Amino acid sequence: MLEVFQRVGLVPRACGWELTLRCNMSCKHCGSFAGRPREDELSHDECLRVADELAEMRCGRVTLTGGEPTLHPAWDELALRLTRQKVQVGLISNAWQWQARDAERAARAGLHNVGFSLDGLEAEHDSFRAPGSFTRVLEAIRTVRAAGLEVAINTTLHTLNRNQLLAMRALLVDLGVRSWQLQIAIPTGAMAAHRELVLPPEDLLWLVPLIADLCGDRSTRLRVVASDHIGYFGKAEAHLRQQDVSMPFWLGCWAGLHVFSIESGGNVKGCLSLPSTRHGEAGYVEGNVRKSSLREIWNRPTGFAYNRNFRVDDLKGFCRVCRYGDLCRGGCTWKRYSHGNPDAGDLYCLYYQAMKHRRHDLLEDEPSEAERGFFAVPV
Amino acid sequence: MKEKEIRERVEQFLKRTARNVVVPASLGLGLSLSGCEGNALRARATDAGRDLSDTAITQDLPAMYLVYLVMMPDAAPDTRPADTESEAGALRPDAGPDISSPPPPYMVPPSPSEDAMPAPQPPYLLMPAIAPPTSGGTAPIPDPSKKAE
């Protein structure tokens, strides 16, 4: 519901900052085609200015990412620049070259946590990334814990690792991991060439309730977090969004409302996952920090129009008749874009799939006439 | 949570935040009428908001708590006139040119490098539900022992 965001103001609370697109791995599901750096990446001085602008805008949290952010020579200097100005900073690394001294650098820079990507148990993770990579992630986790920092793990779910959630959870608990974010592979970037590894949408019928159970489990210190493109509504929703204390349910995409991102070349988007010119789509780029200040870009009346100017009439497919349409605004913008059928609504929505497959036991309310009617004919 | 309760919570939030907006505005009006300097008012509000935000961050409170319970004194939209030149067109003219270098070919998993860590002995291994696909492509992975500057 857009009114909720408008009521508190369009405030940039969190930013994903791609320090470099350079990467020492080439993962099958990389959404940003990371590998070579962009030819126009921000200079050291420009990065320092951006850090100061983020602090000046009172951006509460910044996540340094890439590419592989630790390949940026000043990643810890930039992190320190932010933390000294009371910005909470996290880092997401692939751990391929992570060593104990990197953990020490992270601790000195005042990082809130260090995140690593772990995409399954050893065979599955390594098949997506590189042989030996799984072992390096485990070792990196230990170095970060030894440095006194919290570890966050990101896992992208696909057809190879979808049955490994419980085993992975046991592993992460043993390693002392604090936070585990689950996300579903989206067919964008490199993953567009591996659509056979993308989960079929009907998997949501069992996977989302399982993820909700994991999110609700308080038996260990590990906190499981569902990413924004997992959901929405039904009996699972309250657990999926339980970190949202007063309103534990999905309120639509946050891009350009409370979050935004900066590419290493200075382009600004609502969310780093949204496509850019590298994907042949420039419509989500709002400006560049070389030519305008971050505040100017954020405050443009015409900026982030796909969210700020959203109307219920914009919804497509089943989302048009869904009882939650005005609250949900059609789900994750990136997911909707990447699945390539803008007229279908959000196929990767639990509510959609439950309605389609008549799994009304997963829902909280009796379906409306319009919702039933939508699936009365094959879609 | 049923739809009815969801909408009730949203309504409650909107009412609650409406009250939060009204009270500081009234207070500000009263102080300004009594001669309080406008800049000082703004500074106080800013500091108060920041302190609360920082406290919440250090206590690692949930994100939505941060978002919805912290008043943001500088949250008002910028009403300055837009730069008409830079607003023209769907593609922002100040968006930097993204070099359209081709994406790297999909990797062939490289041979384990010499500095690879010893294999783990985790008790967690499960058989994969589906056999991993064979990969194509020829891009080598950089030698991890040579860390980039």
For position A7, what pLDDT does the model report?
Answer: 84
The answer to which of A7-21, A132-146, A192-206, B41-55 has the lowest mean pLDDT is B41-55
Q: What is the mean pLDDT of chain B?
A: 45
Q: What are phi and psi of A273, to 5 degrees?
A: -75, -25
How many C-beta atoms lie closer than 10 Å to residue A89's C-beta? 24
Quick check: B27 pLDDT over 50?
A: no
What is the complex's ipTM, to 2 decimals? Answer: 0.86
Beta carbons of B57 and A9 less than 8 Å apart: no
Q: Residue B100 is nearest to which of A4, A277, A288, comparing CB atoms?
A: A277
Q: Which residues of B touch A130 (CB under 8 A)?
A: 107, 109-110, 141
Banded model confidence at residue A341, pLDDT cuts 50, 70, 90: confident
Main-chain phi, psi angles of A202, to 5 degrees: -70, -15
CA nearest neighbour of A152 among A129, A108, A183, A124: A183
CB pair distance less than 8 Å for B75 and A22 = no
For residue B79, the distance in angstroms to the closest alpha carbon of chain A comes to: 8
Spatial CB neighbours of A273, under 8 Å, sequence gap ≥ 6: A31, A186, A188, A334
pLDDT at A213 over 90: yes
**How many whole angstroms separate alpha carbon B58 and alpha carbon B45?**
20
Q: What is the pLDDT of residue B23?
A: 44
Give the pLDDT band of residue A3 (cuts 50, 70, 90).
confident
**CA–CA–CA angle A158, A159, A163 (5° rounding):** 95
The pLDDT value recorded for residue A194 is: 87
Say if the Cβ atoms of A243 and B62 lie within 8 Å.
yes
CA distance A58 to chain B (A): 8
Which chain A residues contact residue B78 at CB under 8 A?
Answer: 295-296, 299-301
Which pLDDT does position B21 carry in this prediction? 52
- Picking from B101, B106, B119, the nearest residue to A190 by CB comes out as B106
Q: Tokens 């405030």 correspond to what residue?
A: A11
pTM of the complete model = 0.77
Of all residues in chain B, the one with the smallest CA distance to A269 is B95
pLDDT at B103: 38
pLDDT band at B94 (very low <50, low <70, confident <90, very high): low
Q: pLDDT, tens digit, for every residue of A272-285?
A: 999 887 777 888 99
What would the mean pLDDT of A288-294 be, rounded to a whole number?
Answer: 97
Considering only CB atoms, which chain A residues are within 8 Å of B118?
Answer: 135
Residues of chain B with Cβ-Cβ distance to A248 below 8 Å are: 1
The one-letter amino acid code at A247 reads M
- B91-104: string of b/e by CB count within 10 Å (b at 16+)? ebebbbebeeeebb
Query: CA dist B61 to A260, B56, B66, B122, Å?
Result: 20, 6, 7, 33
Residues in a beta bridge with A181:
A154, A225
Rounded to an integer, the average pLDDT of A39-48 is 96
Using a CB–CB cutoff of 8 Å, tell me whether B135 touches chain A: yes
